[in-house]
Amino acid sequence: MDYLRRYAIKLQSNLPIYLTLNMLITYSEIAHYILSGIILGILCAYSSHYVLLDTSWYCMFGAAGYLLYTLVKAVVRYRLQSSLSIKYIVVTCIVSCALGGISFLHVNHQINQYVGHTKFFLSQEGEYALLIDSPVDLKVIDGKEYRSFSAILLGLVPHKDTAKGVHIKADGHIRVTIQENPTHLHMGDSIIVYGTPRSLYLTEERGTIDKRNKAIRNEDMGAMFDGTYKVVDLHALKEYKIDSYIGYYQRCLHIIDSMRSAVEVLMEQYLSDTTKWLGISLVLGGHYGELGQDVLRQFGYTGIIHILSISGSHIALLFSIVYGLCRVCRIRKRYAMMGGIIISIFYCIVVGFSAPVVRSTIMGIWLALAYVKGRMYTAKQGLAVTAILFLLYDPLLLLDVSFQLSFGATYGLLLFGMPLYRWITVLPPIVKAPLVLCISAQLLLIPFQLYYFHYLSLASLFAAIIITPLLDIAIVMLFGCTIISLLIPIGMVWNVIDWILTICLYVNAHLANSSICLWWIGTISATLGVLYYGCVGLLYINLVSLKLKFRTFTKGIVLMGIGIIAIAYSGILYRNETILHIVPMKQSNAFLIVKPYEKIAMVYVDTPDVIPMKASEIRVRNGLQSFGIPLKNAHVQRFQSTGKNTVLYKNDITSVMVYNRQNGEKKLQLKDMRNTILITSQSYMMNQIVALHLNHPVLVSMPRGAMRDIDPDAEHVHLLGYQYIPDYRL
């Protein structure tokens, strides 16, 4: 109430402005109100098909909270000045509800279209005509090098006797991982792959990135591993009756690939073997396979892995370079801005239309046009409009991790950047600026970061002060040298860039490998997440209305936020509790019996010793780290549940038993399972338990290809993956 009272006084002092506008809510509030309605519509539609996990609940509570917050502010304004027109808020509510309804229908249509039709070509060996529409990346599997890419499916010729030699038109995307032959693959190539596409392995699991959402958005129909291929001309595929626009699209892809290849060749020529792929990633993004898992892990631990993907900082630096060069050449500001817009759009096309790139480009264009038109520019308003455009075009982008982190970090900068900079008075500007930049960008993202990555890194503060400025300098020099080197050789400057990149890799490796800088906290509960955002809201209120008497209160709020993280780190909420977490895998299941408070776990893997687990180790490690438990604190034990039932855990109340597709399951009586959690792969057992034992917790999994046993029409089973399996307190 104290905040509202201060806001009312502020409003009264600026009352002529609002009287002039005759508006009950500002343009920025209108944009955010509409955005909140769209978010609620998207999440309501998604929840009708799949389980909403913590990150979705954060977005839903945030949107609902903003709607309530805006209505309260409108009431306060109307009571202060009843002559203000109410039509703006009425129109805003109508538009918000309408766009929210459209988003609801859009999401329903996307999901139903994706899962409602069986992909007839899955598990069929044949010849598949594809058009590569993504950069070809390196992937190392079991010591062998593979090329991985996404491709548009143009058609197929199945090798079945009933349809042999028949050219069938198809659509959608196929993910391909294949060994490269002497004919190198490039973006824009049309190829015929001889192989067998399989269903995508899509799961919903606590603390993991949502792959199902990405597959639905990209219309990924399946995945193809290994096989052989040949590159063909698009005209040789006329039997598939390919649409005419595909030819134009292929030419665009070839042009983009040629420009990317020219940049890559240039950097391979001037940079050393240890830095060339880092330079390419900084300018073009991607190439994570070439960088190596160790380098990616180090950048992740120091919290600056975002700099390896094209984001707002790249667009801002490029825009600044173009604008500065134009001004040096005495070009008028208006034309310099337009030049920056054109170059930014061109760069966006070359590197790909990812969420951070397009967001930054749109916001840059918004800023430039507002400046040219002589209108007031509001960053938060522009960001909200950008988000609205994104979500109207692709609503499920809301659940994408890059979208959440990109927009969350930008909002954090806009909300807390200047207030924190003014509040911190003891540090010099050269240290304070990057420190404030790092803290403000992370404030809104900590629950999301803990959900997806499970750790907090103190090294990110040092990386923001030391490494990030050096990499920004390197990016500016790379942009400039890449353009200039196409005209004249400047080998000396490239040596300086190589030296800077080498220093960054060395310092980053030392920070990442420091054990005191990395805290494995785990995924915090939704309750702690809501409390944390409550503290962040109070912090913002006190920072924007900061006076001397509020300094102590602000410090108290900061300490509350730190205390919430400390509670999550120590696992106090799980004191004397044992948690059962299921990690569903293709050839087996891993059952994690976890004690978060004691930071220990037992890992039971249902598979014979002869089956390798390398490909699944990362899923087990992620499951443990979601509770803040390092892999070294877990005892791993294999078992095989054949012949008789296997009891993994038992106490006075609950037991965890495993039945692995045994005939004995038919003789099980539900009355014998009153205090038992059943894990089964049999569809008829699922149906019986769900129908007759509704109030009893049941875990469902499908080991060793048991998806054949699943009834696709069962309401509690997803067609292309696992049912969400919640964690249970034993």
Locate the DSSP E strands across 55-98: none
Confidence check: pLDDT of 18 > 90: no
Mean pLDDT of 585-596: 78
Per-residue pLDDT band at 101 (split at 50, 70, 90): very high
**pLDDT score of 44:** 92
Task: With beta carbons less than 8 A apart as the criterion, state whether 283 and 501 touch.
Answer: no
pLDDT at 353: 66
Q: Residue 290 and residue 698: Cα distance in Å, rounded?
A: 43
Which pLDDT does position 662 carry in this prediction?
46
pLDDT at residue 36 in the model: 93
pLDDT at position 4 is 45
Q: Which of 44-48, 482-486, 627-631, 671-675 has the highest mean pLDDT?
A: 44-48
Measured CA to CA, the distance from residue 321 to residue 318 in angstroms comes to: 5
* Non-local CB neighbours of 114 within 8 Å, separated by 6+ positions: 215, 216, 219
Nearest CA-CA partner of 577 in 659, 649, 658: 649
User: In the chain, what percentage of residues exceed pLDDT 90?
Assistant: 5
Least confident of 245-254, 305-314, 577-586: 305-314
Q: Which of 159, 164, 49, 52 lies closest to 110, judged by CA?
A: 49
624-652 residues labelled b (16+ CB within 10 A) or e (exposed)? bbbbbbeeeebeeeeeebeeeebebbeee
Direct distance between the N- and C-terminal alpha carbons of the chain, in angstroms, rounded to an integer: 43
Query: What is the reported pLDDT for 350?
Result: 78
How much of the chain is helix, strand and coil, in % rounded to 5? Answer: 60, 15, 30
Output the pLDDT for position 404: 85
CB of 361 closer than 8 Å to CB of 315: yes
Buried b (16+ CB within 10 A) or exposed e, 396-413: bbbbbbbbbbbbbbbbbb
- Which stretch of 424-438, 658-672, 689-703 has the lowest confidence by average pLDDT? 689-703
Q: How far is CA 467 from CA 299, 458, 478, in A?
A: 10, 14, 16
Q: Give residue 45's pLDDT.
A: 92
Tokens 């502010």, residue located: 73
pLDDT greater than 70 at residue 486? no
pLDDT: which is higher, 706 or 541: 541
Could you give the percent of the chain with pLDDT greater than 70?
Answer: 77
Q: What is the four-CA torsion angle of 557, 561, 563, 565, rounded to 10 degrees?
A: 180
Specify burial of residue 487 (Cβ count, 10 A radius: 0-12, 13-18, 19+): exposed
Confidence of residue 266 (pLDDT cuts 50, 70, 90): confident
Q: What pLDDT, on the 0 to 100 scale, is given for residue 545? A: 67
Residue 688 has pLDDT above 60, yes or no: no
The predicted pLDDT at position 21 comes to: 47
Question: Higher model confidence: residue 550 or residue 247?
Answer: 247
**Mean pLDDT of all residues in 666-676:** 47
Using an 8 Å Cβ cutoff, are 580 and 677 in contact? yes
Nearest one of 446, 729, 698 to 597, comparing CA atoms: 729
At residue 28 the predicted structure's pLDDT band, cuts being 50, 70 and 90, is confident
Going edge to edge, which strands form the sheet with 699-700? 646-650, 655-658, 676-680, 699-700
Position 464 pLDDT exceeds 70:
yes
Burial degree of 295 (CB within 10 A; 0-12, 13-18, 19+): buried
46 vs 240, residue with greater confidence:
46
Rounded alpha-carbon distances, angstroms, from residue 461 to 303, 451, 458, 467, 695: 9, 20, 6, 10, 48
430 or 453, which is more confident: 453
Q: What does the pLDDT read at residue 564?
A: 83
Q: Is the model's pLDDT at 592 over the cut of 70?
A: yes
Instruction: Express each pLDDT in 335-380 by its tens digit.
Output: 887 888 888 888 887 777 666 677 677 766 776 666 656 554 567 8
What is the mean predicted confidence (pLDDT) over 75-94?
Answer: 80
Which of 125-129, 425-429, 497-501, 598-602 comes out lowest in average pLDDT?
Answer: 425-429
Mean pLDDT over 216-232 rounds to 86
How far from chain centre, in Å, is Cα 182? 35
Residue partners of 75: CB distance under 8 A and separation at least 6:
none
Residue 9 pLDDT more than 70?
no
Mean pLDDT of the 578-586 span: 79
The average confidence (pLDDT) of the chain is: 76
pLDDT over threshold 70, residue 322: yes
Dist CA 157 CA 585 (whole Å): 31
Residue with the bigger pLDDT between 616 and 578: it is 578
Highest mean pLDDT among 487-491, 516-520, 683-687: 516-520
Which pLDDT belongs to residue 679?
Answer: 53
d(CA 39, CA 52): 13
Instruction: Supply the pLDDT for residue 645.
Output: 62
DSSP, collapsed to helix, strand or coil, labels residue 729 as strand
User: Residue 689 above 60 pLDDT?
Assistant: no
The one-letter amino acid at 480? G
pLDDT score of 16: 42
Identify the pLDDT of residue 673.
47
Q: What is the pLDDT of residues 522-574, one digit of tens each?
A: 888 888 888 888 888 888 877 776 554 556 677 777 778 888 888 888 788 78
Q: What element of type H or E holds 497?
A: helix 491-512
Alpha-carbon distance 375 to 356, whole Å? Answer: 25
Task: Enumerate residues 6+ apart whose C-beta is below 8 A from 620.
Answer: 583, 590, 592, 603, 605, 613, 631, 636
Q: What single-letter DSSP state applies at residue 196? A: -
pLDDT at position 34 is 92
Whole-number CA gyration radius for the chain: 28
Strand, coil or helix: 566 = helix
DSSP state for residue 163 in the 8-state scheme: G
* Predicted local confidence at residue 95, as pLDDT: 92
Q: Is pLDDT of 228 > 70?
A: yes
Helices (H), 585-627: 614-625
* CA 567-571-575 angle, 5° bins: 115
pLDDT of residue 375: 56
Distance CA 70, CA 286 (A): 40
Question: For residue 635, what are the CA distances in angstroms to 467, 569, 608, 663?
Answer: 37, 21, 17, 31
Assess whether pLDDT exceeds 50 at residue 96: yes
Helix, strand or coil, per DSSP, at residue 646? strand
pLDDT of residue 43: 93
Asked if pLDDT for residue 100 goes beyond 90, the answer is yes
